[in-house]
């Protein structure tokens, strides 16, 4: 279902696109770190805890920043078996209620609790508990509220598009007719 663009989505979506494209390079970097770690471990018998930790840091960052990109492009995984059988208007209603009743409250909860999670980590000067692990544990924890803030922006952009489709006569570029 193609939704009409709105002023808000036209202003925000290019930024989300850029962030998503930049975050996609994290997967290549993650692959390089994994290969380097495997080669060091098995060819040179030199396991590095820093490489193992940076792997999950890169994975978490790529995943959390990729959420907003996936929502913006509507390429996220759907569990709804009936979705493909619905007409465009019913899909838009499901999307509207899904955003309002499920996605936005979930994002709000994560944002509310993750900010204090990061703040406490920063105040304690938290570091990895592993010997030789990475310092500044708060930095990776800060990716959680940042990723969800981007997801919030993407959800609001999508919400304005669904709203325009349902209530503003399906005006806008690229609207789908029934």
pLDDT tens figures, 9-41: 899 999 999 998 999 999 999 999 999 988 988
Q: Is residue 12 part of a domain?
A: yes
Q: Taking the model in full, what pTM does it have?
A: 0.84
Q: Is residue 48 part of a domain?
A: yes
Number of domains in the chain: 1
Q: Is residue 178 part of a domain?
A: no
Q: Is residue 121 part of a domain?
A: yes
Q: Is residue 53 part of a domain?
A: yes
Q: Is residue 1 part of a domain?
A: no
Q: Give the C-alpha distances (Å, rounded to integers) separating 158 from 46, 48, 53, 113.
A: 47, 42, 34, 24
Residue range of the domain that includes 144: 7-167
Q: Is residue 65 part of a domain?
A: yes
Burial class (CB within 10 angstroms; exposed 0-12, middle 13-18, buried 19+) of 55: middle
Q: Is residue 124 part of a domain?
A: yes
Q: Comparing 1-15, 31-45, 123-137, which segment has the lowest mean pLDDT?
A: 123-137
């Amino acid at each position: 279902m193609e939704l009409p663009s709105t002023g808000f989505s036209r202003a925000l979506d290019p930024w989300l696109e850029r962030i998503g494209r930049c975050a996609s390079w994290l997967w290549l970097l993650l692959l390089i770190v994994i290969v380097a770690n495997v080669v060091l471990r098995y060819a040179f018998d030199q396991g590095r805890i820093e490489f193992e930790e940076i792997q999950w840091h890169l994975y978490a960052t790529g995943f959390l920043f990729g959420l907003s990109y996936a929502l913006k492009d509507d390429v996220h995984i759907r569990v709804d078996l009936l979705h493909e059988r619905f007409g465009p208007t019913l899909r838009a209603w499901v999307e509207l209620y899904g955003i309002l009743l499920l996605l936005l409250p979930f994002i709000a909860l994560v944002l509310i609790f993750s900010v204090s999670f990061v703040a406490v980590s920063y105040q304690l000067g938290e570091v990895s508990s592993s010997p030789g692990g990475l310092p500044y544990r708060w930095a990776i924890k800060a990716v959680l509220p940042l990723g969800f803030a981007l997801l919030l922006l993407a959800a609001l952009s999508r919400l304005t598009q669904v709203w325009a489709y349902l209530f503003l006569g399906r005006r806008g570029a690229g609207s789908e007719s029934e």
